[in-house]
Amino acid sequence: MKTATTRFVFDRKHTATKDKKALVQIEILFERKKKYVSTGVKVYKNQWHEKHHVCNTDECVALNERLHGMKGHIDDYLTGMLRRGEAFTWQKMEAFLGQAAARRGSFIDWVTQAIETRHDIRETTRRMHRKLPRMLERCGILVEWEDLTKANVLRFDDFLHGTTYTKGRHERRPLEVASIHTYHRLLKTYINEAIRRELTDRNPYAALHFDRGEGPMKGFLTEEELRRVAVVQLPTVSLRNVRDLFLFQCYTGLAYSDMAAFSREKVLERDGRYILSGERVKTGKGYYVVLLPQAVDILERYGWRLPVISNEKYNAYLKVVAQGAGIDKPVSSHYARRTAGMILLNSGMPVEVVAKVLGHSSSRTTEKAYAKILDRTVEQSYDRLMDRLGRI
């Protein structure tokens, strides 16, 4: 009977340096599928040896004892399964890891491990969820299981409202209301999961409610600004490619990840139209787009293979494109998606249709995201009505 094998893996993402620590994980391998369990141990690059493990630090003995204790606990469980003739399954392993983490580690350790072992979320969503344990560590209030109290959640909320992030090179900005609400939503998700697994009976959110509030209207380009982007003279092929990618997003409403996943096979020809449909990479929600002639022109220019680059470089080059077009806005890839929504709604397209184009879960999502644009559309509709009534 086959069973899983384990080994230590240091710096799986290759980020460690002599000045930056990286995590030691335990890799569990079974039939070519791997799962990584956080040990909570972080060391510098010169403090890890593949054979001797943690070294070159006064804490090496204690840290190695912790590592081998965690790995030994998992190995003992696997050995016990073999002895009992019990078949290995990932579901059994996840249940064991969750219970073991609750008995051994902190609440933050368990959240970190729970995020990494989930099968019901996409990798893009997992990256977003990883922000939660990082923020909890930064805050230092909700660390141990005993810290899960109403008072500490309120302290965590105060901490979030006082937290800033870097915008650009030097500018510091407070967290937006929507971001604060997201941290609370994620924290509630993992507390509820811990309760479901009977790892705790504490639910500090039972008597608490945090309103999402109304965040500021996100950025988009006006139709005049979009025209300036389309006609601006750019000095390099790279910048012209980025400009075309941005325009393609504006004409389709695709998010960056969906544009990066574009292929000719996703396009159907029907009644003289090109139809692009699929599922959003981030959410799995379906989208359905009729390609405008401008979008088709861009695709034909590149032989239906878009010159996609990394999101980081793309956003950096977009700043240069915007500057060249005389646009004083922090333009990013998501500006294009919001610009597409703005154009569609201001053209009079029903909210339900725009929601389908953008791949929103419901028209309510579209209404909330573009509330101000919808207000403007209502005003313009009344202008047209009064103009017609005035001619009667």
**What are the residue ranges spanned by the domains of the chain?**
1-88, 90-216, 223-390
Please tell me the pTM assigned to this model.
0.50
Residues contacting 91, CB < 8 A, separation 6+: none
What's the rounded Cα separation, in Å, for the pair 293 and 205?
A: 51
What's the rounded Cα separation, in Å, for the pair 112 and 95?
A: 15
What's the rounded Cα separation, in Å, for the pair 37 and 309?
A: 32
The pair of structure tokens assigned to 283 is 């959410």
Q: Across the chain, which distance is largest between two alpha carbons, in Å?
A: 91
**For the CA atoms of the chain, what is the radius of gyration?**
26
Reported as a pLDDT band with limits 50, 70 and 90, residue 251 is very high
Tokens 């006064």 belong to: 58
pLDDT at 392 over 60: no
For the chain, the average pLDDT equals 84
Q: Is residue 8 a contact partner of residue 54, using CB atoms and an 8 Å limit?
A: no
pLDDT at 381 over 60: no
Tokens 């409610």 belong to: 209
Q: Is residue 203 a contact partner of residue 191, using CB atoms and an 8 Å limit?
A: yes
Least confident of 2-11, 121-130, 263-272, 339-348: 339-348
Q: Which fold has domain 223-390?
A: hpI Integrase; Chain A (1.10.443)
What are the helix (H) ranges across 266-370?
293-301, 311-324, 333-346, 351-358, 363-369
What's the rounded Cα separation, in Å, for the pair 353 and 339?
A: 16
Summarize the confidence of residues 25-30 as an average pLDDT.
94
Reported as a pLDDT band with limits 50, 70 and 90, residue 215 is very low
Give the right CATH number for 90-216 from 1.20.120, 3.40.50, 1.10.150, 1.10.357. Answer: 1.10.150
Tokens 């890891």 belong to: 97
Q: What is the pLDDT of residue 236?
A: 94
Reported as a pLDDT band with limits 50, 70 and 90, residue 375 is low
Q: Which helix (H) or strand (E) holds 39?
A: strand 33-43
Q: What is the pLDDT of residue 372?
A: 57
Closest CA to 38 of 30, 49, 26, 47: 26
Give the DSSP letter string of 9-36.
Answer: EE-TTS---SSS-EEEEEEEEETTEEEE
If one compares 343 and 52, the residue with the highest pLDDT of the two is: 52
If one compares 92 and 215, the residue with the highest pLDDT of the two is: 92
Task: Tell me the CA distances in angstroms from 93 to 107, 259, 310, 320, one per residue in order.
Answer: 19, 37, 36, 50
